[in-house]
């Protein structure tokens, strides 16, 4: 049995299958963990959803910002965008089954497994707020997951679209607490020096030279989290492994590559991809 971790798929179904064939992925024995954004911008988001769902207990994903947006579109809260290429999902016969399954997926996964070299990992789409320890991150994620899986999910999907509050406080409650959690786990890239989440900048860190923004994983007062923190979301990084974080989004949908790590031995597999986003 092997455990494979992969970054954003974003509808790039044929690239995912090709990479799984490269590593001889066994659907009956191996496990696949996806760092969110199963859908949007690539050519075949419908097949990605169907495939990961069919993996059953051997397929695991966290929700990304594009996944949440698809759920909002499916409820008529937001209008579909042609560039997202998700209309086939909305028109599919198994639409309701797929979207219900997607809504049950977590915002954060903590895999507690150990071997001679690794003691487990925690996965979320964008990262983990520098102000959170692992217990807080898991608790906040669980709060939002409970609402998404309840009959209040439409209310949450409607109210999640805002950048505030940008600063964490344990006193946050209700939609403000949920929104901070969603933004931290699915949208965050940078923080300001005082710890506020920045939702605007998508540039790579080497292009930020004035000290106004700091990658979340380089914040000097970031709470220590022992397991490796695995994330996607930030294609401009081109992948990263430092400060106990592993970034796996290498921009497949933009003509970069799809990157996968085998957790047990740390071997990295990468497959160049054509440009899919238009």
CB 236 within 8 A of CB 204: yes
142, pLDDT greater than 70: yes
Is 70 exceeded by the pLDDT of residue 48? Answer: yes
Residue 118 has pLDDT above 70, yes or no: no
Q: What is the mean pLDDT of the chain?
A: 95
Q: Is residue 267 predicted with pLDDT exceeding 60?
A: yes
Residue 46 banded pLDDT, cuts 50, 70, 90: very high
Q: Per mean pLDDT, which range of 11-20, 21-30, 238-247 is the poorest? A: 238-247
At 116, the pLDDT band (50, 70, 90 cuts) reads very low
Digit-coded pLDDT (tens) for 154-190: 999 999 999 999 999 999 999 999 999 999 999 999 9
The DSSP H or E segment spanning 140 is helix 134-148
59-73 burial, b at 16+ Cβ within 10 Å, e below that, comes to ebbbbbbbbbbbbbb
Average pLDDT over residues 3-19: 97
Q: Would the pLDDT of 113 be above 50?
A: yes
Q: In the sheet that 240-242 helps form, which strands lie side by side, from edge to edge? A: 108-111, 121-124, 228-231, 245-247, 240-242
Q: What is the pLDDT of residues 54-87, one digit of tens each?
A: 999 999 999 999 999 999 999 999 999 999 999 9
Compute how many other C-beta atoms are within 10 angstroms of the C-beta atom of residue 249.
30
pLDDT for 119 beyond 80? no
In this structure, what token pair is assigned to residue 258? 């799809």
Q: How far apart are CA 78 and CA 206, in angstroms?
A: 34
Q: Give mean pLDDT, residues 109-124.
A: 78
CATH code for 3-272?
3.60.21.10
pLDDT at 117: 52
Residue of higher predicted confidence among 112 and 191: 191
List Cα–Cα distances, 175 to 57, 147, 274, in angstroms.
31, 11, 40
pTM of the model: 0.96
Tokens 């799984």 label which residue?
A: 20
Rounded distance between C-alpha atoms, residue 235 and residue 246, angstroms? 13
β-bridge partners, 272: 257
pLDDT tens, residue by residue, 203-224: 999 999 888 999 999 999 999 9
Domain regions of the chain by residue span: 3-272
Judge contact between 48 and 105, C-beta under 8 A: no
Based on its alpha-carbon atoms, the radius of gyration of the chain, rounded to whole angstroms, reads 18
């Amino acid at each position: 049995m092997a455990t494979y971790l992969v970054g954003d798929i974003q509808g790039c179904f044929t690239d995912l299958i090709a990479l799984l064939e490269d590593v001889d992925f066994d659907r009956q024995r191996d496990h696949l963990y996806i760092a969110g954004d199963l859908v949007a911008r690539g050519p075949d988001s419908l097949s990605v959803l169907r495939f990961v769902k069919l993996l059953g207990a051997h397929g695991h994903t966290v929700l990304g910002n594009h996944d949440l947006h698809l759920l909002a579109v499916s409820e008529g809260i937001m209008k579909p965008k042609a560039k997202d290429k998700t209309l086939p999902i909305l028109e599919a016969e198994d639409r309701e089954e797929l979207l219900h399954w997607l809504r049950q997926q977590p915002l954060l996964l903590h895999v507690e497994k150990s071997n001679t070299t690794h003691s487990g990992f925690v996965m979320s789409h964008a990262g983990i707020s520098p102000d959170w320890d692992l217990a807080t991150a898991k608790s906040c994620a669980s709060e939002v997951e409970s609402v998404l899986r309840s009959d209040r999910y439409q209310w949450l999907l409607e109210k999640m679209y805002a950048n505030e509050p940008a600063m964490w406080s344990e006193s946050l409650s209700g939609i403000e607490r949920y929104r901070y959690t969603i933004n931290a786990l699915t949208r965050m890239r940078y923080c300001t020096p005082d710890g506020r989440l920045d939702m605007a900048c998508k540039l790579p860190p080497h292009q930020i030279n004035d000290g106004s923004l700091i990658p979340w994983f380089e914040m000097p007062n970031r709470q220590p989290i022992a397991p490796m923190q695995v994330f996607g979301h930030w294609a401009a990084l081109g992948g990263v492994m430092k400060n106990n974080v592993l970034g796996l989004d290498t921009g497949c949908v933009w003509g970069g590559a799809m990157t996968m790590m085998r957790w047990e031995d740390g071997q990295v597999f990468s497959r160049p991809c054509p440009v899919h986003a238009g």
